[in-house]
């Protein structure tokens, strides 16, 4: 009987006799190299690693190649079901562990247990969602499982496309160029799930097609054409890096560049395939690589959990070790913990594949009889349950500082946005309004608000403010809810502004910069209780680029202790920096507390008095105050201490972006400058956004979302919107821009030529 190879599994005996087929050790070698690079990237997140061996394109190339071989020996649906079973059974075991960790995390933190989209843990045709506290570390890499299942569903189309690989490559690369460059030419922009779905289909679908074509080709290109094609792809990618903004320099933030670099690598690997095959064909190497292949699913699924435990352990027992110095320990611990997972549950892959169940996929091993499966399950469950408990402890206390310093595994937030946002010209025509409104249509806005809350899942109540010129509308949802009725909150009642305070702090810092008391680009000087570090500038702090950990994640932080701003800044400063100041963005309450101390130092006035004297009184914002009530474990102050009605928050946001009463035009330009890291000074763009040919930043709106809504000003429309949504959390953050657009759309005088 012949054997074919699964993309992530070992040899599979066909159901019908066929000619013998030799196992290609190079496939095992490439898969092992891809898994190793994935683990290293997730453990260290060094940007240059993303350019070394494109792991996921190679995985899909192998998947397409081996799937095509299997389809040549049986029907599509039998092949798809067999391969889906081999992937889903280990996935279900991993899912049970993730849900157990989620339950323990919810119990420890006192949060209600409400798993999102539980059906995705059965058949993940859409990626599963984990607990917010896990920050994607247990689920974000599962996009590969989703994409692979769709590859099985679309396998017949894959074979058709494999007949014309050149045409498919041209279409896929052209589609990726349109997806990423198209907005610059005024084409519609995709974002979020739609963007990642299309990008994955074009990028990874291309490599699956190329793999299938390679497997079925009777004649393959010679070395010279492969070298030329590889060089062309790599040179093209290098040229595009001059205009494509890559977050942190990582190749993973652009499908187009990833596809080109991967094409270059695959062409070069094809040129040297014979010596590579000889290298991995030795008895010991081949046995090791077959073992990795037999446990590839387990390694891929469980390695992020191992990294979390490894980094948490290093931070706990060696807290003073810097990122680079700890790298070997992190990698070694991650490998050992992944190996433990392989021993504990890797045998499930044998069970799913219909093979003899083995503790370890060695070359020669006695298979465990089926009657011993309960013993295997119980024995394997012990380290798994212990790991779940350890993970829940790690997540409940907040991710460790070194974990916060790197993006989560397979963090796809950059891909979900337009890759050309920073250099795009406003080809998208933004809505405009000739002048501010004299009056706001209260009845119309109230109807929109009531309808929006009623139809929006996950939002139970809302208090909203809309401002345009001197006109203000302050209202609450007129339905039955804890916000509108249960708490007695009425229209115009002050609500926590939370991180919208950061915009206030930014304005005060820029005012002092204009007066010459603060140099935005000189290191922050010694302050009372906070000595200078000689590196971090006010501009770094305003951009969330100071490299500070969140104080709640700093060693020694106690949520039951009442702190001063200086004490919390000191805790954050004592932790190892996440990165060199000015080189990356990491949202930081600690940095804005430091700015508040700087303001008090240069003005001799307390922060609350500065807000009252410089902001509230001159602008007539009667509800704007700084809440200085002590709260254990938290200090609002210059990071989150402002309280105001939604109407006043909307008025403030409009004044900040349009009025010379707050900042002069030059200071406003500095406030909204997106270079070099893609965000403003204490505020964020609401896209479509970018920088035009003259280097001037533009965006549909400017402001910030917070856990309970947010506020944005839309200068081109002379309108600002603030919303306080309940319950607070990710859903309130995600839906606030949708509410703002619903309100903007019904205001008179709007010109929307881009609609």
Q: What is the pLDDT of residues 700-745, one digit of tens each?
A: 889 998 888 899 999 989 999 999 988 877 777 778 888 998 999 8
Residue-wise pLDDT tens digits, 143-201: 999 999 999 999 999 999 999 999 999 999 999 988 887 655 556 666 667 778 899 99
Average pLDDT estimate for 642-652: 96
Whether residue 755 is predicted with pLDDT greater than 70 in this model: the reply is no
Q: Where in the chain is the domain with CATH 3.40.710.10?
A: 502-617
CB atoms within 10 A of CB 450: 16
pLDDT tier at 484, thresholds 50, 70, 90: very low
Task: Please tell me what DSSP assigns to residue 575.
Answer: S
Contacts 24+ apart (CB under 8 A), 315-322: 315/400, 315/401, 315/402, 315/403, 315/555, 316/400, 319/555, 320/576, 321/576, 322/576
Locus of tokens 């066909």: 14
Nearest to residue 448, comparing CAs of 741, 70, 716, 104?
741
Locus of tokens 């460059």: 181
Average pLDDT estimate for 575-599: 90
Whether residue 425 is predicted with pLDDT greater than 90 in this model: the reply is no
Average pLDDT estimate for 295-308: 96
Q: What is the pLDDT of residue 482?
A: 38
Contacts 24+ apart (CB under 8 A), 455-462: 456/735, 456/738, 456/739, 457/731, 458/727, 458/731, 458/732, 458/735, 459/725, 459/726, 459/731, 459/732, 459/735, 460/726, 460/727, 461/725, 461/726, 462/709, 462/723, 462/724, 462/725, 462/726, 462/739
Whether residue 694 is predicted with pLDDT greater than 90 in this model: the reply is no
Q: Which two tokens stand for residue 605?
A: 């006035």
Residue-wise pLDDT tens digits, 25-40: 999 999 999 999 999 9
Q: What is the pLDDT of residue 580?
A: 86
Average pLDDT estimate for 628-637: 92
Whether residue 541 is predicted with pLDDT greater than 90 in this model: the reply is yes
3-state secondary structure of 125: coil
3-state secondary structure of 699: strand
pTM: predicted TM-score of the whole model, two decimal places = 0.63
Q: What is the pLDDT of residue 196?
A: 84
Task: Please give the mean pLDDT across all residues of the chain.
Answer: 85
Superfamily of domain 502-617: DD-peptidase/beta-lactamase superfamily (3.40.710.10)
Residue-wise pLDDT tens digits, 240-250: 877 665 666 67
Q: What is the pLDDT of residue 229?
A: 94
Q: What is the pLDDT of residue 214?
A: 93
Q: What is the pLDDT of residue 191?
A: 61
H-helix or E-strand spanning residue 86: helix 76-109
Q: What is the pLDDT of residue 115?
A: 58
The C-alpha angle 511, 516, 517, rounded to 5 degrees, equals 80
Q: What is the pLDDT of residue 552?
A: 85
Q: Is the dihedral of CA 340, 343, 346, 348 positive or negative?
A: negative
What backbone phi and psi angles, to 5 degrees, belong to 5?
-120, 135
681 against 46, higher pLDDT: 681
Q: What is the pLDDT of residue 728?
A: 77
Q: What is the pLDDT of residue 418?
A: 41
Nearest to residue 305, comparing CAs of 346, 332, 337?
337
Residue-wise pLDDT tens digits, 92-150: 999 999 999 988 887 776 665 555 677 889 999 988 877 767 778 899 899 999 999 99
d(CA 190, CA 109): 36
Q: What is the pLDDT of residue 168?
A: 95
717 in Cβ contact with 750 (< 8 Å): yes
Average pLDDT estimate for 632-646: 95
């Amino acid at each position: 009987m012949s054997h074919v190879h699964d993309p992530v599994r070992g040899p599979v005996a066909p159901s019908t006799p066929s000619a013998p087929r030799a196992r290609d050790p190079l496939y095992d070698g490439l898969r092992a190299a891809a898994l190793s690079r994935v683990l290293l990237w997730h453990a260290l997140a060094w940007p240059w690693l993303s350019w070394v061996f494109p792991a996921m394109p190679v995985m899909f190339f192998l998947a397409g190649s081996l799937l095509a071989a299997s389809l040549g020996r049986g029907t599509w649906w039998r092949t798809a079901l067999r391969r889906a079973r081999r992937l889903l059974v280990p996935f279900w075991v991993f899912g049970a562990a993730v849900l157990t960790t989620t339950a323990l995390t919810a119990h420890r933190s006192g949060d209600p247990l409400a798993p999102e989209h539980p059906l995705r843990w059965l058949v993940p045709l859409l990626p599963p969602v984990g607990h917010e506290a896990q920050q994607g570390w247990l689920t974000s890499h599962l996009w590969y499982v989703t994409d692979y299942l769709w590859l099985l569903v679309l396998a017949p189309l894959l074979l058709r496309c494999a007949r014309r690989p050149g045409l498919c490559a041209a279409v896929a690369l052209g589609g990726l160029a349109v997806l990423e460059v198209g907005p610059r030419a005024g084409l519609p922009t995709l974002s979020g799930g739609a963007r990642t779905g299309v990008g994955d289909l074009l990028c990874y679908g291309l490599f699956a097609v190329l793999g299938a074509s390679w497997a079925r080709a009777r004649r393959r290109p010679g070395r010279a054409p492969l070298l030329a094609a590889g060089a062309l792809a790599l040179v093209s990618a290098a040229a595009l890096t001059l205009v494509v903004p890559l977050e942190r320099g990582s190749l993973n933030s652009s499908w187009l560049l990833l596809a080109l670099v991967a094409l270059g690598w695959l062409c070069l690997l094809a040129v040297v395939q014979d010596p590579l095959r000889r290298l991995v064909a030795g008895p010991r190497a081949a046995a090791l690589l077959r073992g990795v292949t037999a446990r590839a699913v387990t390694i891929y699924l469980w390695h992020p959990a191992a990294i979390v435990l490894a980094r948490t352990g290093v931070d706990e027992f060696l807290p003073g070790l810097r990122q680079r110095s700890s790298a070997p320990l992190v990698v070694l611990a991650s490998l050992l913990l992944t190996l433990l997972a392989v021993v504990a549950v890797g045998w499930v892959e044998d069970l799913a594949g219909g093979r003899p169940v083995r503790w370890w996929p060695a070359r020669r091993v006695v298979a465990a009889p089926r009657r011993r499966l309960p013993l295997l399950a119980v024995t394997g469950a012990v380290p798994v349950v212990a790991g779940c408990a350890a993970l829940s402890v790690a997540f409940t206390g907040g991710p460790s500082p070194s974990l916060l310093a790197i993006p989560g595994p397979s963090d796809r937030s950059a891909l979900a946005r337009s890759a050309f946002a920073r250099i795009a010209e406003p080809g998208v025509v933004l809505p405009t309004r000739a002048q501010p409104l004299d009056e706001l249509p209260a009845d119309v806005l109230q109807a929109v608000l009531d309808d929006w809350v009623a139809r929006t899942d996950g939002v139970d109540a809302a208090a909203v403010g809309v401002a345009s010129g001197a006109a203000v509308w302050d209202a609450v949802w007129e339905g039955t809810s804890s916000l509108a009725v249960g708490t007695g909150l009425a229209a115009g009642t002050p609500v926590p502004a939370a991180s919208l305070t950061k915009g206030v702090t930014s304005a005060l810092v820029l005012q002092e910069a204009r007066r010459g008391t603060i140099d935005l680009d000189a290191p922050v000087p010694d302050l009372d209780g906070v000595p200078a570090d000689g590196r971090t500038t006010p501009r770094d702090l305003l951009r969330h680029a100071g490299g500070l950990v969140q104080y709640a994640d700093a060693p020694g932080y106690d949520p039951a202790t009442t702190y001063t701003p200086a004490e919390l800044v000191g805790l954050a400063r004592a932790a190892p920096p996440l990165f060199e100041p000015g080189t990356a963005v990491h949202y930081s309450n600690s940095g804005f507390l430091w700015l508040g101390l700087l303001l008090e130092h240069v003005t001799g006035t307390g922060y609350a008095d500065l807000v009252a004297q410089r902001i509230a009184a001159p602008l007539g914002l009667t509800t704007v105050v700084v809440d200085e009530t002590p709260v254990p474990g938290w200090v609002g102050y210059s990071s989150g201490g402002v309280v105001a009605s939604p109407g006043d928050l909307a008025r403030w946001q409009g004044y900040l972006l349009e009025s010379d009463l707050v900042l002069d035009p030059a200071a406003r330009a500095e406030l909204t400058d997106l270079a070099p890291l893609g965000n403003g000074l204490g505020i964020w763009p609401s896209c479509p956004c970018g920088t035009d040919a003259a280097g001037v930043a533009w965006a549909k709106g400017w402001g910030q979302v917070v856990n309970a809504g947010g506020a944005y000003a839309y200068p081109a429309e002379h309108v600002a919107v603030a919303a306080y949504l309940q319950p607070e959390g990710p859903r309130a953050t995600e839906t606030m821009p949708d509410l703002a657009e619903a309100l903007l759309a019904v205001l008179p005088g709007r010109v929307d030529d881009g609609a």
